[in-house]
Structures are given as C-alpha cells and as structure tokens.
Amino acid sequence: MRSPAWTEDELVLAGALVVKNGWRELRTGDREVQELSELLRSLPLHSLEARALPEFRSPDSVSRKTSDFATNYKPYTGKRTRCGEATLRMIKAFTQRGAEMLQAAEAIEEGIGSGELQLLPQQPGEVDDDGFTAVEGRLLVRRALTRERDPKLRRLKIQQVRDRGEPLSCEVCGFLFSRVYGGVGEGYIEVHHVTPLHIAGTRKTGLNDLACLCANCHRMCHRSRPGESWRTPDALREEMRKAAQHRAH
C-alpha cells in the first residue's frame, strides 16, 4: 500500500509553513516540519491503514512537499521539482490571496487542536461530484456544512425573515418554495454562511452572517472549481447577471 495523495487540507498546512518561511523550503530536521508531520498523521482524512504506514506524511515527505512549494513559486529561479496539479493550484491560491489562505491553515490547526474537526461526521456535499473540494480544505467545508445544517440556527434565521414581514425566498434568485410546490414547500429554505467560517473566525455565528438560499443557489455558492471555492450570494448573483447578459448577446 502506498501513501495516499495529498489532500487540500494537507496542502494548505504545508503551504502555510513555506509562506511563513519566506517561500523557502524546510529541512527534515526542522522543528516545524516535525510538528507538521505529527499533525498531518492525526488528520481524519485517510484510512487507519494508510496512516499506519511508516512513510505516511513522515518528516522526509513533508520536507519534500515544502520543496515543491518553494521551487514552483513563480519568482524562484532554480530548478523546479515535479509536483501535481493540486500543489500548483495551492501555490496559486497562496500567491493570490495569501492572508486568506493563512487564515484557513490557522482554522484547520485550531479545529484539530480543539478536537472539533475530528468529531464532525462526513457531510454530503463536502466533495463535489467531479471530485473537487474547496481549495481551503475539505475539513473546513465539512464544518461549514455541519453548522449550516443546524436545525436550531435554521429555525432562528427563518423566524428573523418572518419577523421582518419578508417572503421566505432565495436571496440570490428569488425562488419561493411555497409558490412552486404549494403546502409542501411552505416554510422551507436553506441557510448559507455569507463569509466562510475560517475568515469569520471562531466567534458565534450571528443571524446576519447567514443568507436564505434555494437548494440550487446554495450548491452553487459552495461549488468548487480548480483554484476557486466558496462564493458569496452577491458574487453568485453577479455570475447570474453575466450569464444572462451573455445569453442576450
């Protein structure tokens, strides 16, 4: 059995290590590499059989991955190591939005350290049908989906909308379940975190942090593309505007 390919979560943590080191590789004996090796071996992303392999995310393998990041960073002028597309996407993400990716790494580390992420069950939708997960990492998507499916939070958000005298419609496309499905759709809507949890931080989720969405728009807000993950309802609305404009021409 061979060690499994690196996941987005693992690449986020390795990339953060390299960025904090000035985009330079780290050696096997470095304390940071030793600590990251231990952390990666604890992540609930691979089978117990894989995690028991001596070479699985060993300090040597972690050091080699930092070399991939450092030598494939665009300003690097020496010989580049060969690495996979996922690593190249992660390098691009750290290059274009470094502060946000460092926040994602910190959120993963905090979630593992607190034990929260190990306890979360796998969620439908944390991996897209085409196999992509959010560039920030599958564990953060899992945490976001778990919170969004909290029935108490959903009930409170629906009550807030009703207290305002507003229809329970999708904030992106205006879809109203009760109008289309009658009684079976009455009172139904899905909730979505407007700002990803790793950016919002560990503070308690407020109702104004949530948006009411139909199932389609909710999925599109979460849908990943290579090098891109979450999008806000406003961003999705802009995507729809552009698509409509394109159809008109």
Task: Tell me: pLDDT of 248 over 90.
Answer: no
Q: How many CB atoms lie within 10 A of CB 126?
A: 19
Categorize the per-residue pLDDT at 202 as very low, low, confident or very high, splitting at 50, 70 and 90.
low
Q: How confident is the model at residue 184 (pLDDT cuts 50, 70, 90)?
A: very high
pLDDT, tens only, 90-107: 999 999 999 999 999 999
At 203 the pLDDT is: 56
pLDDT surpassing 70 at residue 200? no
Rg of the Cα atoms in the chain:
20
Per-residue pLDDT reduced to its tens digit, 77-94: 999 999 999 999 999 999
**Which residue, chain included where needed, has tokens 């778990």?**
146
148 pLDDT tier (thresholds 50, 70, 90): confident
Q: Any alpha helices (H) in 21-150, and if so which ranges?
A: 31-42, 48-51, 59-72, 85-96, 98-114, 116-119, 138-148
210: β partners? 193
Furthest-apart CA atoms within the chain: distance in Å: 66
Predicted local confidence at residue 116, as pLDDT = 87
The whole-number pLDDT of residue 164 equals 94
Rounded to 5 degrees, φ, ψ at 12 are -60, -45
Regarding predicted confidence, which is higher, 137 or 25?
25
Residue 178 confidence (pLDDT): 95
Residue 194 backbone class (left: φ over 0; alpha: ψ -120 to 50; beta: rest): alpha
Look at the alpha carbons of 160, 166, 170, 175 in this order and tell me if their dihedral is positive or negative.
Answer: positive
Model pLDDT for residues 217-227, shown as the tens digit of each residue: 999 998 887 77
Give one DSSP letter per residue of 141-182, joined into a string: HHHHHHHHT-HHHHHHHHHHHHHTT-----TTT---HHHHHG
- Categorize the per-residue pLDDT at 66 as very low, low, confident or very high, splitting at 50, 70 and 90: very high
Q: What is the average pLDDT across 206-229? A: 88
pLDDT > 90 in the chain, percent? 64
Q: Residue 44 — pLDDT band, cuts 50, 70, 90?
A: confident
pLDDT at 223: 87
Q: How far, in Å, CA of 91 to CA of 76, rounded?
A: 12
Mean pLDDT of the chain: 91
Two structure tokens written together for 126: 């944390």
Question: What predicted TM-score, i.e. pTM, was given to this entire model?
Answer: 0.87
Which residue is associated with the tokens 């390919």? Answer: 5
Angle between helices 8-20 and 98-114 (to 10 degrees): 120
51 versus 71: the higher-pLDDT residue is 71
Each residue of 110-137: pLDDT tens digit?
888 888 888 888 888 888 877 778 888 8
How much of the chain exceeds pLDDT 70, in percent?
A: 97
Per-residue confidence (pLDDT) for residue 113, from 0 to 100? 87
